[in-house]
């Protein structure tokens, strides 16, 4: 493999979340889960918070974030 054969590294996207959709502010291939830090490919992003402007990997992470917010 030489330098011309390398694939560019995927970049992190920046999104603005609304209640039912999101808008891409900065293009990229993934966002990070606010709870776990795990990469979430945009095509797999189904959970986010418009209030907190955060993405979540799944329903467990949503529940964990809500529990943290309820504790203060």
pLDDT for 36 = 98
pLDDT for 9 = 72
For each of the chain's 72 residues, which pLDDT tens digit applies?
Answer: 556 566 667 899 999 999 999 999 999 999 999 999 999 999 999 999 999 999 999 999 999 999 999 998
Residue 22: name the closest of 9, 10, 13 by CA: 13
pLDDT for 3 = 60
pLDDT for 4 = 59
Query: Judging by DSSP bridges, how do beta strands 14-17 and 47-49 pair with one another?
Result: unpaired
pLDDT for 72 = 81
């Amino acid at each position: 493999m030489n330098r011309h054969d390398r694939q560019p590294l995927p970049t992190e996207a920046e999104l603005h979340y609304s209640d039912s959709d999101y808008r891409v502010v900065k293009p990229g291939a993934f966002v990070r889960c606010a709870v776990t830090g795990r990469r979430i490919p945009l095509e797999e992003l189904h959970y986010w918070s418009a209030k907190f402007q955060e993405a979540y990997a799944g329903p467990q992470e949503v529940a964990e974030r809500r529990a943290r917010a309820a504790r203060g």
